[in-house]
């Protein structure tokens, strides 16, 4: 039931954003599109196996004239730097996480050069744990995902901004039990336990009037 709700969120997120584009609220509203790079730090089960990773995000948001904005964010995080001493009968472990989120944001300053903001995302992630045991194995699953975020934007030109952002991506369910014939079963990540990663991002965005 939870996965079905998350799928509806993912379907509705671009639909809501598109409707806001075609039916803006007023002349002061603006669109914001951005691209960012994250250094990511896994925690809980992900952190037991991997050190750091990297992540790229693309986002599009519609900003109202009171500081609020709504839109979507899609990213791809990759973890391939496994910790030394980790051994569970699998070679070359890698993890890829692709979150798709509906994001609501509040920008505390709408006129200045420096503009702090807070955001929260809700959606679903597809994640794949891959490893090698004589042949390549991919374990893929999906999970409801939430993401609290905060950062600050700096205007560097009329419509162009750079920004710094910190975020968490919480994946509500880990991968199922990973097993393979003639090898001991491992429990990375443990099914049913929340896991995920933190991110520190630098990005650039372009903002323009909706009309």
Report the 3 state secondary structure along the chain.
Answer: CHHHHHHHHHHHHHHHHHHHHHCCCCCCCEEEEEEEEEEEEEEHHHHHHECCEEEEEEEEEEECCCCEEEEEEEEEEEECCECCCCCCCCEEEEEEEEEEEEEEEEECCCCCCEEEEEEEEEEEEEEEEEEECCCEEEEEEEEEEEEEEEEEEEECCCCEEEEEEEEEEEECCCCCCEEECCEEEECCCCCCCCEEEEEEEEEEEEEEECC
CA 31 to chain centre: 20
CATH of domain 2-19+34-209: 2.40.160.20
**C-alpha dihedral (15, 142, 199, 208), degrees to nearest 10:** -10
Higher pLDDT, 33 or 184: 33
Q: Please give the mean pLDDT across all residues of the chain.
A: 78
**25 falls in which pLDDT band (50, 70, 90)?**
very low
**184 falls in which pLDDT band (50, 70, 90)?**
very low
List pLDDT tens digits, range 55-95.
Answer: 999 999 998 878 899 999 999 999 887 777 665 556 777 88
Q: Does position 168 have pLDDT exceeding 60, yes or no? A: yes
User: Do you know the residue count of the chain?
Assistant: 211
For position 210, what pLDDT does the model report?
A: 63
List pLDDT tens digits, range 97-127.
Answer: 999 999 999 999 878 899 999 999 999 999 8
């Amino acid at each position: 039931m939870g996965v079905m709700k998350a799928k509806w969120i993912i379907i509705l997120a671009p639909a809501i954003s598109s409707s806001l584009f075609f039916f803006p609220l007023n002349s002061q509203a603006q669109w914001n599109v951005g691209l960012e790079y994250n250094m990511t730090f896994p925690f809980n089960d992900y952190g037991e196996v991997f050190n750091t990773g990297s992540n790229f995000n693309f986002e599009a948001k519609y900003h109202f004239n009171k500081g609020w904005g709504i839109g979507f964010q899609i990213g791809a995080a990759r973890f391939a730097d496994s910790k030394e001493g980790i051994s569970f009968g699998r070679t070359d472990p890698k993890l890829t996480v692709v979150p798709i989120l509906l994001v609501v944001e509040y920008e505390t300053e709408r006129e200045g050069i420096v503009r702090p903001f807070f955001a929260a995302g809700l959606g679903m992630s597809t994640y794949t744990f891959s490893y090698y045991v004589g042949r390549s194995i991919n374990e893929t699953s999906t999970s409801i995902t939430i993401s609290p975020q905060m950062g600050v934007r700096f205007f560097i030109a009329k419509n162009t901004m750079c920004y710094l952002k910190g975020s968490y991506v919480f994946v509500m369910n880990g991968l199922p039990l990973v097993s393979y014939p003639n090898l001991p079963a491992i429990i990375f990540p443990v099914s049913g336990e929340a896991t995920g990663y933190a991110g520190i991002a630098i990005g650039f965005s372009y903002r323009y009037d909706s009309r």
